[in-house]
Structure 1
Amino acid sequence: KFKDALNIAVGTSTGQILMFDIRSNKPYFIKDHNYNLPIKRIDFHALNDDYVLSIDKKICKIWNRHTVNRRILKDSIKFH
């Protein structure tokens, strides 16, 4: 799902949401649903696109994209 012209969010088959600046091949944000289920949908709040809605088979989460788990981000970038 595109947030704007330069940012995109993608869901993985293992339950993570990765946000990218399309000018980079590394995510600047990773959010994990922690259920190891595929992400079915991602959307941005209509009035405040800092808030992201992500859905898997078990749960719907609404979260602020500025809340980053830096350990997950660091580990993810290290292995890519």
Structure 2
Amino acid sequence: MGSPDGAAPRIRVDAAASAPGRGAWLHPDARCLDLALRRGGLARSFRGPVEVGSPDELARHLEAAHAPLTQKRVEEPMDIR
């Protein structure tokens, strides 16, 4: 399935996982995106050709959307007596 004009659908980051249709899960890491692009993983996930646009821009959006998940939590030590 493509867009009405016949172009391949464009990949976008859906951090809320609420967009309709098929999706693909990627780690919030530019290396994972690069590997998916080189091996054709996104086209396989979406079952057809896809338009990526700028891989660097897509990587920035991917990392920014998942930044809260990748930040380390700093916890105060608990004193239990």
Q: TM-score, normalised by structure 1?
A: 0.29
Higher relative contact order (CA 8 A, sep 6+): 2
Q: TM-score, normalised by structure 2?
A: 0.29
